[in-house]
């Protein structure tokens, strides 16, 4: 998923981790029902989120924008910009994502450090009517495609990470500009393909396929965590999660012990703090888990919470000791109850400490209900925490009784 290093790496004081299981959590002005904002057509899906200043970018399979009353405001082509304060779409932003056959799909978004450029990845052929195959850069104000970035990526781009001197990306692809790239690649800011950054994700001979879903910097920025569907990285065993050097792409020695992550599992999203790597996993079994970053090169599991569907989005609460979780748990055929007899339907809030507070891993005060449930392919994908707002990309008709589709916002 998206993100520059600063949007996801928060300094969490060690004393907080030690005391969180013993202390009461601070009051949180957050209700399960989202704010009433504009929304998309109910059948649309929100797959990607990014922020630049007061603008929230929403990407996915998006075809139509509606106002609070449900009236159609405008058509859309996979990517829109939303005013964070009003929750209304900004009509002057018009990227015009296109696909020669089928519907265009934006899977990931990331913003440059200065906020002027929006990097876009997914499944598409054109931007603004010009050829851009699965990866593009657009002006963050107008949405106009930047001609300097014109890579041809052979298949979907699903993860983008903006570094200090390059833009890293991953997905389903095997070629970039005709050159072999095994699901991971990097580009200089001037749009040229990096010829030396060559990590290689593999299936270990299983033939089950490979995909990269998430890229996140380690706390010091010198290495990158890679999450997805794979069994090897650079030929060494790495199940769903690996770590590579930012400058060279070489494999980092840090690893999660063999057998911790089930064979064939995939990591949908990763989140990093100074002492923990959190991951959302799926493909059976499904769970959210924490791994240690403070025990050398052994990333042993600190805790694990099982769900009945994929965990696909993570965002750290501003208090640093809770984490928002999104996915398809409880929106498909399988159901799950927590906190006595409350249902999990696609969104929850969990405690991040290795020893959960006496109330349990889940905070029972925030359990939004995505509807409809009991049908596959509804649920929540990315989460974005801005400090005062939580945003989610969703496919839904209502969330906790509020009519909301494509994206949703909660104000803290």
Q: The domain containing residue 196 runs over which residues?
A: 34-411
Give dist(CA 246, CA 407) in Å, integer.
Answer: 32
Q: For residue 30, with 0-12 CB atoms within 10 Å meaning exposed, 13-18 middle and 19 or more buried, which class applies?
A: middle
Are 110 and 50 contacting, i.e. CB atoms less than 8 angstroms apart?
yes
Are 312 and 326 contacting, i.e. CB atoms less than 8 angstroms apart?
yes
**pLDDT at res. 359:** 79
Q: For residue 337, with 0-12 CB atoms within 10 Å meaning exposed, 13-18 middle and 19 or more buried, which class applies?
A: exposed
CATH of the domain at 94: 2.130.10.10
Phi, psi of 83 (to 5 degrees): -70, 120
Give the closest residue to 309 by CA, choosing from 277, 353, 342, 347: 347
Phi, psi of 322 (to 5 degrees): -135, 155
Are 151 and 131 contacting, i.e. CB atoms less than 8 angstroms apart?
no
Task: Let me know if residue 372 belongs to a domain.
Answer: yes
Task: Let me know if residue 218 belongs to a domain.
Answer: yes
Task: Let me know if residue 4 belongs to a domain.
Answer: no
Task: Let me know if residue 313 belongs to a domain.
Answer: yes
Token pair of 316 as six digits = 């750290």
Instruction: List all residues 6 or more positions away from 224 whose beta carbon is below 8 Å from its beta carbon.
Output: 161, 168, 215, 216, 217, 218, 243, 244, 245, 246
Task: Let me know if residue 26 belongs to a domain.
Answer: no
Phi, psi of 5 (to 5 degrees): -60, -40
Starting at the edge strand that comes first in sequence, how are the strands of the sheet with 322-327 ordered?
Answer: 311-316, 322-327, 347-351
Buried b (16+ CB within 10 A) or exposed e, 182-199: bbbbbbebeeebbeebbb
Q: How many domains does the chain have?
A: 1
Task: Let me know if residue 11 belongs to a domain.
Answer: no
Buried b (16+ CB within 10 A) or exposed e, 208-242: eebbbbbbbbbbeeebbbbbbbbbbbbeeebbbbb
Task: Let me know if residue 368 belongs to a domain.
Answer: yes
**pLDDT at res. 28:** 52
Give dist(CA 245, CA 261) in Å, integer.
Answer: 22
Give the closest residue to 174 by CA, choosing from 210, 216, 213, 135: 210
Token pair of 247 as six digits = 């400058």
Bridge partners for 119 per DSSP: 110, 137
Neighbours of 342 (CB within 10 A): 15
Task: Let me know if residue 326 belongs to a domain.
Answer: yes
Neighbours of 155 (CB within 10 A): 15
| Tens of pLDDT, residue by residue, the chain (412 residues) | 444 444 443 333 333 333 333 333 444 568 999 999 999 999 999 999 999 999 999 999 999 999 999 999 999 999 999 999 999 999 999 999 999 999 999 999 999 999 999 999 999 999 999 999 999 999 999 999 999 999 999 999 999 999 999 999 999 999 999 999 999 999 999 999 999 999 999 999 999 999 999 999 999 999 999 999 999 999 999 999 999 999 999 999 999 999 999 999 999 999 999 999 999 999 989 999 999 999 999 999 999 999 999 999 999 999 999 999 999 999 999 999 999 999 999 999 999 999 998 878 999 999 999 999 998 889 999 999 998 999 999 999 999 999 999 999 999 9
């Amino acid at each position: 998923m998206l993100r520059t290093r600063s949007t996801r790496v928060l300094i969490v004081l060690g004393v907080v981790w030690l005391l969180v299981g013993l202390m009461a959590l601070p009051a949180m002005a957050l209700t399960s029902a989202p704010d009433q904002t504009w929304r998309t057509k109910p059948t649309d899906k929100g797959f990607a989120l990014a922020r630049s200043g007061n603008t929230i970018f929403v990407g996915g399979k998006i075809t139509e924008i509606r106002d609070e009353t449900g009236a159609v405001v405008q058509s859309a082509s996979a990517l829109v910009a939303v005013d964070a304060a009003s929750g209304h779409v900004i009509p002057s932003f018009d990227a015009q994502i296109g696909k020669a056959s089928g519907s265009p799909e934006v899977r990931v978004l990331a913003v440059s450090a200065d906020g002027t450029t929006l990097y876009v990845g997914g499944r598409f052929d054109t931007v603004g009517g010009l050829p851009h195959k699965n990866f593009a850069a657009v002006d963050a104000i107008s949405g106009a495609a930047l001609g300097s970035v014109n890579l041809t990526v052979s298949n979907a781009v699903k993860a983008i990470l903006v570094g200090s001197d390059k833009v890293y990306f991953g997905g389903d692809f095997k070629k970039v500009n005709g050159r072999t790239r095994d699901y991971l690649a990097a580009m200089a800011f001037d749009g040229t393909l990096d010829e030396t950054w060559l990590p290689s994700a593999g299936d270990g001979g299983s033939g089950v396929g490979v995909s990269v879903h998430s890229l996140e910097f380690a706390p010091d920025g010198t290495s990158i965590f890679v999450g997805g569907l794979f069994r090897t990285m650079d030929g060494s065993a790495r199940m769903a999660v690996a770590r590579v050097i930012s400058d060279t792409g070489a494999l980092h020695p840090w690893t999660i012990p063999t057998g911790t992550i089930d064979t064939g599992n995939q990591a949908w999203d990763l989140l990093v703090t100074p002492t923990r790597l959190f991951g959302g996993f799926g493909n059976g079994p499904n769970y959210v888990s924490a791994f240690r970053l403070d025990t050398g090169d052994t990333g042993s599991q600190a805790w694990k919470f099982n769900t009945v569907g994929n965990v696909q989005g993570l965002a750290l609460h501003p208090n640093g000791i809770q984490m928002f979780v999104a996915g398809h748990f409880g929106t498909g055929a399988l159901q799950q109850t927590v906190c006595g007899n409350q249902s999990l339907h696609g969104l929850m809030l969990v405690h991040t400490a290795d020893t959960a507070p006496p109330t349990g891993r889940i905070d029972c005060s925030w359990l939004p209900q995505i509807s409809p449930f009991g049908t596959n392919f509804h649920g929540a994908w990315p989460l974005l925490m801005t400090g005062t707002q939580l945003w989610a990309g969703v496919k839904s008709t209502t969330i906790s009784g509020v009519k909301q589709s494509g994206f949703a916002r909660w104000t803290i």
